Amino acid sequence: MGQTSDTRPASPYRLSWAVDVPVITAGVGMGVAYLILNNETPVLTESYINSLNRNDVWELDRATTYNWSKPVARVSDVFLYTSFAVPFALLADRNIRKDYLKIGLMYGEVIVLTGALTSLTKNLIKRPRPFVYNGQVDLHYKQEKDAQYAFFSGHTSVTAAMCFMTAKVFQDYNKGSKAIPWVWTAAATFPAITGVLRQQAGKHFWTDVVTGYVVGAAIGVLIPELHRAELFQKKKKISPSVSF
């Protein structure tokens, strides 16, 4: 009896020290930097809050300073938490499921890099959230440390990263699938809705949301792209054409 050949398609991804170590190091490094800086960051003082004038806010963002809704903010939290589970839908694909270690590591890298970059940027920029300008919001909300971390939207960046990573991985394992456009449409829509909810809740300006969307989407696509097997294929050595 002849041996049966393995018809399983080759994995489109490959793990590499040259990629994974720098990515993880960068993510952890930014995360540690954020924790140190955040611990030393004071809350906004009442005098500073009272000195804020919504007329100083860029016109595109100014209307958001009137927004404030805790229920809408809670709905946006649901979108955020749900996004962490979105990549697990990939496990329904048998070929992807066999590469769960590779996908799992990329999933972790996307979360760490997106979360750390977002958090560190928030602390370095220290942009007051829109509701801090709103006179109808109680002072104790404005004096929470998180009230000065508007730029850029973490809910939007994380949901975009999770959704775009899912779409990218699905596409790389299912070349030519008719479902690809639908998967990408869903991946683009989910974080967009999240961003709108954050703006309506008074948590973020439009510029925070758009920036978070772009950063998250970029990381969600970049991490799988950096692991594509084609990038690690060695070129065939060319033998000299002259013999002695």
130: left (phi > 0), else alpha (psi -120 to 50), else beta? alpha
Dump pLDDT digits (tens) for 115-151.
999 999 999 999 999 999 999 999 999 999 999 999 9
Dump pLDDT digits (tens) for 18-68.
999 999 999 999 999 999 999 999 999 999 999 999 999 999 999 999 999
Q: Tell me: pLDDT of 171 over 90.
A: yes
Provide the sign of the torsion angle of the four alpha carbons 127, 189, 217, 164, taken in this order.
positive
**pTM listed for this prediction:** 0.90
Give, as one character, the DSSP assignment of residue 237: P
Provide the sign of the torsion angle of the four alpha carbons 196, 202, 206, 208, taken in this order.
negative
Return d(Cα 200, Cα 204) in angstroms, integer. Answer: 8
Q: Tell me: pLDDT of 195 over 90.
A: yes
Q: Tell me: pLDDT of 239 over 90.
A: no
Return d(Cα 113, Cα 119) in angstroms, integer. Answer: 10
Question: Under DSSP, is residue 101 helix (H, G, I), strand (E, B) or coil?
Answer: helix
pLDDT, mean over the chain: 92
